[in-house]
Amino acid sequence: MSHIPHVAVFEHHSLMRRGLESLLSSSPLCHLTAVVAEPGGPGSAGLRVDAVVYGPPDNQLRGLAQGVRRLAAHGRVLVVSDFGGSESVTDVLRAGAYGCVSRQADDDELLRAVVTVARAGVHVDARLAPRLHTELRQSSAAPVSALARRESETLRWIAAGLTHGQIARRMNLTEATVSTYVKRIRSKLNVGNKADLTRKAIELGLLQEEPRPK
């Protein structure tokens, strides 16, 4: 039997908190471990789960990245916010969040995001994708000179969700060669798992023209 992820909710708004508690506690896809009003609140001491669903107060969006870094001690963070303030989606991902979901997301979208993040994947709500792409176009991307052209292409396909075998077929390479590229990328960029690679691709601006798997 596959592992059922343990999830905690940190949500400032009482109505949203009750809604998240109802949804997650009734879903067979996850096990709701704790519901807390804010980071550092009662019930959060020593808490460690697979995924943290974080709904920040609207008046604290400027410190959202700091909140993500703080909550990362409890588990992989999924931010639930419409990003109406100055905080950017890219800043939150760079701070260590594994996902961002709009408050307008439906139940199925939120549950998919929770499961993806709990499994160390990255999930960005389609409603936030235009904002993410705008931020990437406006930001000055970090230099990618450390990566060879084929390594950059490989990193883009990894961030797009392709497996090593799928990348090999698209790039007309052997799977062993793709694995070698991935090892070089991890070494050059000092990153570990797929989520870290995806965040690095975002940081480097490699998804400004995101490849679309067929």
**Confidence (pTM):** 0.70
User: Rounded distance, CA 34 to CA 21, Å?
Assistant: 9
Confidence (pLDDT) at 98: 92
Confidence (pLDDT) at 138: 63
User: Rounded distance, CA 185 to CA 204, Å?
Assistant: 13
Helix axes 107-118 and 14-26, enclosed angle (nearest 10) = 70
* Distant-in-sequence, close-in-space partners of 104: CB < 8 Å, separation ≥ 6: 82, 127
Confidence (pLDDT) at 195: 78
Confidence (pLDDT) at 85: 66
* Cα–Cα distance list, 204 to 8, 13, 94, 154 (Å): 31, 34, 11, 13
Which amino acid makes up residue 162? L
Nearest to 182 by CA among 172, 171, 193, 166: 193
pLDDT in tens, the chain (214 residues): 468 999 999 998 899 999 999 999 999 999 999 999 887 777 788 899 999 999 987 655 567 888 888 899 999 999 999 887 667 888 888 888 999 999 999 999 999 999 999 988 889 888 888 888 777 766 544 455 578 889 888 988 888 778 899 999 999 999 999 999 999 888 888 887 777 788 778 777 776 544 444 4
The sign one gets for the Cα dihedral 36, 37, 42, 45 is: positive
Confidence (pLDDT) at 56: 85
